[in-house]
Structure 1
Amino acid sequence: MSVVGVSGAVAWVTVGRDHAHQPHSRDAGAASSPMSTGQGSERDAVPSACDTLSKSVADELAPGADRSATVATQSDEHSECAWSRYGSRTRQLSVELRAIAAGGGTSATDTAIRTFSDEWRADRDGKDLADGVKVRDSRGVSGVGEQAYVVYTVDAGAAIGEAVANARLANVLITVHYSGGDHLNAAGTPLSSKSAGDGALEAARDIVSKLESHS
């Protein structure tokens, strides 16, 4: 999953991972496994991530941020977008949409379920996190697509807190990263688990609702 495009982009101070999500710790033992509910219509293309997220949601989560597509070559099956604002109140928001193709003798939806499960495991285990970044919380989420989870990490050195919300709707995966911190003093204060998690899930819900209304 690639928030790498964003992570590697100019000064993206994310709590860092290679693909479009974030960590979780096993001691966040309340982490329930995201359950699959129902089955929506499969898609072979996704809309523009920049245009799918409501402007009101982007403005609320990252006020005054610059918006940019974060994949060099957008395709029908993959689109990413990022909103970034730096300064005393750093806020970064990224959205990734992926239409997962069928493979290995399974349907597109079954392949997406397997991909979702692999990413959930990697995120909650904190795989590929940058040095100094720790998973602080993770949980399965109901009511956002057919499966969803949110994972929260903190980079204490940079005073940045980040949540990744990953949701599945049939064979489409919607991944949102929302991170930030308030740097009004030398120490700085990472964006809290509640603020980061609620923000990431708000963006994911908004996108899911758009996809459902155009299914």
Structure 2
Amino acid sequence: MSIEMLVLAVEDVLVSHVRKERCDTVRTLVQMYSANNQTGFERTHEDAFLEDCSTRSLEVSEQAVRLLMQAQTDGVRLGLVSRMSSRMLCALLDQAVGPDWVDWFNIVATADALSPGQSDADLFDLILRTADVPADRAILVDACPRALSVAQRLGMGTVTVLDNGALGADPAVSMACETRSLAWPQFRELEEALTQREAPLVHERRATVC
């Protein structure tokens, strides 16, 4: 069985850090602001996020980009998921990567696709249904343990990005790295490890815009 879709989270995976006076994770920065722009108050928070990001230096993970390109070369479709609004995401990646980033992905799903009360499970399910890909033929790379757990329950293969920037998984996959300088595995190595698993992994911790 081969993998048909690779999904990367933006927060702390594709964009690893945002720097100003100090170095913050993207997840930390996003938590300071609302991810929903349905009201004027929340739109104000969204504007504040954009202004804050414009003053920061953004770090794009070269290893994440390399993994994306390897998967694309193998004919795997690419998805991007974010807990930010579409406006926040576009501003962040336009600054970090440039406006062509949208051409990398077949599907981009953001918090704008969620109704009140919906969760990561609904966002991942939306990606899978839109792409018409079975959950067990998709891989999620994320840094959020809760999101990884949700994806596992859906049947997706999952790999976590550890706090040091390395990829980690259960001992059967053996991809944990000790330092940020160690390279992530090749996509084919990742695919082979995940498609051969007998049980869900247990972890530590032009595009369609949904």
TM-score normalised by L of structure 2: 0.27
Q: TM-score, normalization: structure 1?
A: 0.26
Which one has a larger percent helix, Structure 1 or Structure 2?
A: 2
Structure having the higher strand fraction is 1
